[in-house]
Structure 1
Amino acid sequence: MNIFEKLDYTILNYKINLSGAVIGCALLALVSHQTKAQTAGLTMPAGFKAEIIAENTGRPRHITVTKKGDIYVKLFRKVDDKGILMLQDKDGDGKYESRTSFGNYIGTGIYLKDSYLYASSDEGVFRYKLDANEHVINPDKPDTLVKGLVSRRQHETKSLVLDNDGNMYVNIGAPSNSCQVNDRQPGSPGQVNCPILETAGGIWQFKIDKMNQSYAEGVRYATGLRNVVGLDWNKQNNALFVMQHGRDQLTMFPEYYDVKQSAELPAECMYMIKQGDNAGWPYSYYDPFQKKNILAPEYGGDGKKEADSKFINPVAAFPAHMAPNGLLFYTGNMFPERYKNGAFVAFHGSWNRAPEPQKGFLVAFIPFKDGKPSGEWETFADGFSGSPEKTASGRADHKPCGLAMGPDGALYVTDDSKGAIYKISYNK
């Protein structure tokens, strides 16, 4: 082979290699695109896929799914003057194009059980009778179960869950950060015998078959909870579990806390609640580093003094300020066995960790055994924010809020930022 033949061979070989590289890159790009499409932009464990089944729904909060796969969503803001959205996939293509709405009030809580749909406003709870297809019979005339609850434009949403004995549990969030004399003012002391706890800052129990209940007919089931948005009933041990939104702004006491400590304290806590429990707000908070309930600075604490031993400890602790808005115990059969009876938590994401990076905008999982956590929490679905940079800045594209399980065992997640609803399933 002469020099010219060698040159031709080299050029040909180069072209073949180059073509192969181009084809290879194209194939990788195609696979990457397909993978991203199959996960709706989310990162999840192997075998899981996600799809966006509805978009532009408003600001969906909590969600519930019927036995036939229809969806009810409670809206944080009205759409067409209505606050409850019913979604249906009538043509079976996986997209919920059919929409009807009812309920002339906003809110967060919604729950379906035993032929009734329960939904909350910021002041009360309503009940709708369902037909055999679990469709609302008379959407304009619900029963009023509870009325007159405190709503003061801070932690005003009312989440709810039912047990199996005819009781309903309603969160009434405290309209305060830490019950100071002057709310959120540097150095202001806490109010003695915090009066907020008389009507808020806890979980109230009501009956599901009694009309027009008020505080007088209800029971203050548990207290010392600043604000609970995510809650669920654990069937394994027949107990109420809640996720608390921890307090903010420990930097109001700079003699005890620097900005980094304020960003990382206190933990977002999961509590198992029994009647009469006190979780400590506003007198204490849970420090995940010291693993103790610490006396709040508004009540004489210095970041080290332990709180009264009467306050219960959490069963699990998560990073500060991530805003847990949804809690669901998984009882389906679609997911692998390790997920059975474990808890999923939807974290709406932080706004107040600066100058540290913001966190959250994800769905976490914590394994359970015999009604108690059996391992450390882990990230289950991430990527809702759009990018690590958007997470760090707090400018997330999507913010997880509500969780529900479908009749096939799929997991549904609402996004109350852009109004998307995700369906996460597992390929067996």
Structure 2
Amino acid sequence: MNKFILTLSLTCLISLSAACQSRGEKSEAEYDARLAKINLPDGFKISMYASNIIDARSLARTADGKTVFVGNRRRRNVYALTDTNGDMVADKVDTIATGLRMPNGVYFHEGDLFVAEVSKIHRFPDIMNNLKAPKSEVIFDGYPTETHHGWKFISFGPDGKLYVPVGAPCNVCDKSEENKVYASITRMNPDGSDMEVYVEGVRNSVGFAWHPVTGDMWFTDNGRDLLGDDVPACELNHVSAQGDHFGFPYWHQGDIADPDFGQGRERSDYREPAYKFEPHSAPLGLRFYQGNMFPAKYKNNILVAQHGSWNRTQEAGHIGYQLRFIQVEGDKVVKSEIFADGWLDEETNKGWGKPVDIMEMPDGSILVSDDVNHCIYRISYED
């Protein structure tokens, strides 16, 4: 009888594994093997917060951190992940919305969930009391409809306004005269009124945050392609005032004039980046760490998710696929170092995972989404 039960159990496990693989899902053992490849500083630990969350992108959470919202780019869905027993592992998944157009951006604000499609901003009122049957309203539908750089990261700023980037609908082009919102970061009131351009010359930002002390905005921006493997750099930018222009499409990385659009444009008219990332390394989500779990040097400084290159030549090799720590003083970057890597297989020069967004949890740990390994990691620290 015991032998029969054992044989039946193994058969069930094999069948379950085959079913998961047929849906493209990974087993716990597969995820554990991949976690072991990730390198972190001494004292840090990485674990799984949620697995098999296909195309996990932008992250937002409730104030208590029990529910995490996840945006999507390719699968057209928005999810709510709940940790019902407090063990820092999501064990309940609700699908908030389906069939949306690149609903990458999510943000939880005063009880409502805001979701950004390519051309629209939705608000899901009182979302925590309506997880099973959420209703939404479109508060703004005036953004361009192009999907090239059309997916959006969103966040509320310290001024109570919702900030929304609008990427350039191209690798490099000048669309500003056609519509001033192209290649910008915009902002609006929570009800969608009074949308305005906040800063210009931003090719494709998929992450921004405000310094917890100064209140200044910092954002990542992805540099143009087809100028070679080693130029231009991707950028970390600091906003000094509304109306700042960061150069695109005329100047790249602060000191390279665009061969097609830079003629007659003065370098001094545009703000230079505060920090230059590796070219084509695709920095996306960034957060100022404000918790007390990590060592003191991380406090009020930046962690950035570098998604990784996609079109560098085989000879040059891929770069990115990592998390970077950046220390700032005022409007200056004073230190930069790799915080976590290992998502890029150096032998095959292929990335098995690509970090997208970073979010701090109430206990001081951070969550990191990965839209290629289809999961959300938790990184914690212990002396």
Q: Which protein is richer in helix relative to its size?
A: 1
Using a 3 Å threshold, how does the CA distance of structure 1 residues 122 and 139 change in structure 2: closer, same or farther? Answer: farther
Using a 3 Å threshold, how does the CA distance of structure 1 residues 423 and 136 change in structure 2: closer, same or farther? Answer: farther
Residue-by-residue CA offset, 1:207-231 (whole Å, 9 max, x unaligned)? 11x24x4xxx311111111110111
Task: Report the residue type matching 1:283 in the other structure.
Answer: Y
Task: Report the residue type matching 1:294 in the other structure.
Answer: I
TM-score by length of 2: 0.84
What is the CA distance between 1:155 and its match in structure 2?
0.4
TM-score by length of 1: 0.76
Identity among equivalent pairs (%): 30
What is the CA distance between 1:119 and its match in structure 2?
1.6
Matched, 1:275 2:255: no
Task: Report the residue type matching 2:268 in the other structure.
Answer: S
Matched, 1:227 2:193: no
Q: 1:198 aligns with which of 180, 185, 196?
A: 180
Q: 2:225 aligns with which of 221, 244, 248?
A: 248
Q: 2:95 aligns with which of 79, 97, 101?
A: 101
| Residues 125 and 135 in structure 2, CA contact (< 8 A), matched pair in contact too | no
Matched, 1:294 2:289: no
Residue-by-residue CA offset, 1:34-62 (whole Å, 9 max, x unaligned)? xx879643101100000012111110110
Describe the SS at the equivalent of 1:64: strand
Which residue in the other structure is 2:55 paired with? Answer: 59
Matched, 1:319 2:278: yes
Residue-by-residue CA offset, 1:363-397 (whole Å, 9 max, x unaligned)? 1110123x434522111011123x2234xx3x311
Using a 3 Å threshold, how does the CA distance of structure 1 residues 92 and 199 change in structure 2: closer, same or farther? Answer: closer
Residue-by-residue CA offset, 1:180-214 (whole Å, 9 max, x unaligned)? xxxxxxxxxxx5x8535523101111111x24x4x
Matched, 1:75 2:72: yes
Q: 1:111 aligns with which of 107, 113, 135?
A: 107
Which residue in the other structure is 1:334 paired with? Answer: 293
Residue-by-residue CA offset, 1:104-139 (whole Å, 9 max, x unaligned)? 3132111223322222111121222337xx555685
Which residue in the other structure is 1:368 paired with? Answer: 328
Alignment map for 1:371-386 (pairs within 5 Å): 371-385=330-344
Residue-by-residue CA offset, 1:126-182 (whole Å, 9 max, x unaligned)? 222337xx5556853223222131131210111111112221110000011121xxx
Task: Report the residue type matching 2:197 in the other structure.
Answer: R
| Residues 130 and 137 in structure 1, CA contact (< 8 A), matched pair in contact too | no
What is the CA distance between 1:89 and its match in structure 2?
2.3
Alignment map for 1:161-172 (pairs within 5 Å): 161-172=155-166
Instruction: Return the alpha-carbon distance in structure 2 between the equivalents of residues 173 and 300 of structure 1.
Output: 19
Which residue in the other structure is 1:400 paired with? Answer: 355
**Structure having the higher Rg:** 1
What is the CA distance between 1:64 and its match in structure 2?
1.6
Using a 3 Å threshold, how does the CA distance of structure 1 residues 235 and 61 change in structure 2: closer, same or farther? Answer: same
Using a 3 Å threshold, how does the CA distance of structure 1 residues 247 and 138 change in structure 2: closer, same or farther? Answer: same
Moved more, 401-410 or 305-314: 305-314
Describe the SS at the equivalent of 2:217: strand
| Residues 293 and 307 in structure 1, CA contact (< 8 A), matched pair in contact too | no
Using a 3 Å threshold, how does the CA distance of structure 1 residues 197 and 349 change in structure 2: closer, same or farther? Answer: farther
Instruction: Return the alpha-carbon distance in structure 1 between the equivalents of residues 357 and 266 of structure 2.
Output: 33
Describe the SS at the equivalent of 1:375: strand
Which residue in the other structure is 2:46 paired with? Answer: 50
Using a 3 Å threshold, how does the CA distance of structure 1 residues 139 and 409 change in structure 2: closer, same or farther? Answer: farther
Using a 3 Å threshold, how does the CA distance of structure 1 residues 39 and 224 change in structure 2: closer, same or farther? Answer: same
Task: Report the residue type matching 2:213 in the other structure.
Answer: Q
RMSD, aligned CA? 2.4
Using a 3 Å threshold, how does the CA distance of structure 1 residues 299 and 374 change in structure 2: closer, same or farther? Answer: closer
| Residues 75 and 84 in structure 1, CA contact (< 8 A), matched pair in contact too | yes
Which residue in the other structure is 1:356 paired with? Answer: 316
Task: Report the residue type matching 2:292 in the other structure.
Answer: N
Instruction: Return the alpha-carbon distance in structure 1 between the equivalents of residues 132 and 302 of structure 2.
Output: 34
Flag structure 2 segments of 5+ consecutive residues without an equivalent: 1-28
Which residue in the other structure is 1:19 paired with? Answer: none
What is the CA distance between 1:236 and its match in structure 2?
1.6
Instruction: Return the alpha-carbon distance in structure 2 between the equivalents of residues 240 and 145 of structure 1.
Output: 24
Q: 2:79 aligns with which of 74, 85, 90?
A: 85
Instruction: Return the alpha-carbon distance in structure 2 between the equivalents of residues 388 and 85 of structure 1.
Output: 33
Describe the SS at the equivalent of 2:72: strand
Which residue in the other structure is 2:374 paired with? Answer: 419
| Residues 57 and 419 in structure 1, CA contact (< 8 A), matched pair in contact too | yes
Using a 3 Å threshold, how does the CA distance of structure 1 residues 64 and 402 change in structure 2: closer, same or farther? Answer: same
Describe the SS at the equivalent of 1:61: coil
What is the CA distance between 1:63 and its match in structure 2?
0.6
Using a 3 Å threshold, how does the CA distance of structure 1 residues 281 and 196 change in structure 2: closer, same or farther? Answer: farther
Task: Report the residue type matching 2:282 in the other structure.
Answer: A
Which residue in the other structure is 1:253 paired with? Answer: none
Instruction: Return the alpha-carbon distance in structure 1 between the equivalents of residues 178 and 169 of structure 2.
Output: 8
Task: Report the residue type matching 1:175 in the other structure.
Answer: P
Task: Report the residue type matching 1:205 in the other structure.
Answer: R
